[in-house]
Amino acid sequence: MDPVTYSSYLALDEVLAAQRPRSGEPDELLFIVVHQVYELWFKQLLHEMDRLRAHFAAGDSHRGLDALKRILTILKVAVAQVDVLETLTPRQFTGFRTRLEAASGFQSAQFRELEAVLGRRDPGLVRGHPEGSAGRAAIERRAGEPPVFDAYARLLAGRGYPVAPSFLARDPAQPYEGSEEMQDVLFAMYQDDGPEAQLAERLVDLDEGLQEWRYRHVKMVQRTIGDKPGTGGSSGSDYLRSTLFTPVFPDLWALRHRL
């Protein structure tokens, strides 16, 4: 057996052979590399989200905080990568854009999985992923699992906070838009000012960080293609704008005026 080397451990031959530009434009490589890196970060974020839910299930606030710290740091890196994409001018992008054909960022199954883990529930999650595809199966599986906020609510219930039995027994595949009853529970938890409140604030940071990523993505698309339709027939910046300012943890925002 060959000894493990830096290259073999990281499978660099496969990784560095995965960039296959379809045009002769020199800027296409950057576009490919940045989006491949995004997909690697999405993979890591899904891994960390699974760990976060497991820590919540075990009632482990300390490890939950550690997981959230890593998630938030990765998200900051993902937002910063938009700066790299914005070095592409509209003319440079136009030079190879047609070679993307029907390919679109809307087809990122891993990002849709992330949205599902964070609680998004609507038919749009699987748009662009045909029946029987691996991507669609992964998204549907995630959409049937308890999202992050549900796992956090169970941690609160385990700490003795009066989370409604109807919430704990709810179908996780159904959308959740918040409730005053849950906000009352969260208000009481904040008054105790324990580790559960620290977790809640980090979840707010996560929600805000996701909105920051969406905003930077919208502005990057606008400065690159304006209001043109997106690749693959998507509505481009119009759709992206519609996703802004929609919180994934509505209860944590709704009670801010009471704290």
| Residue-range domain boundaries for the chain | 24-96+103-258
pLDDT above 90 as % of the chain? 76
Task: Quick: pLDDT tens for 199-246.
Answer: 999 999 999 999 999 999 888 888 887 766 555 444 455 656 666 778
pTM for this structure? 0.92
The 10s digit of each residue's pLDDT in 38-91 is 999 999 999 999 999 999 999 999 999 999 999 999 999 999 999 999 999 999
CATH 1.20.58.480 fits 24-96+103-258, yes or no: yes
pLDDT at 237: 56
Query: How far is the C-alpha of 115 from the C-alpha of 121, rounded, in Å?
Result: 8
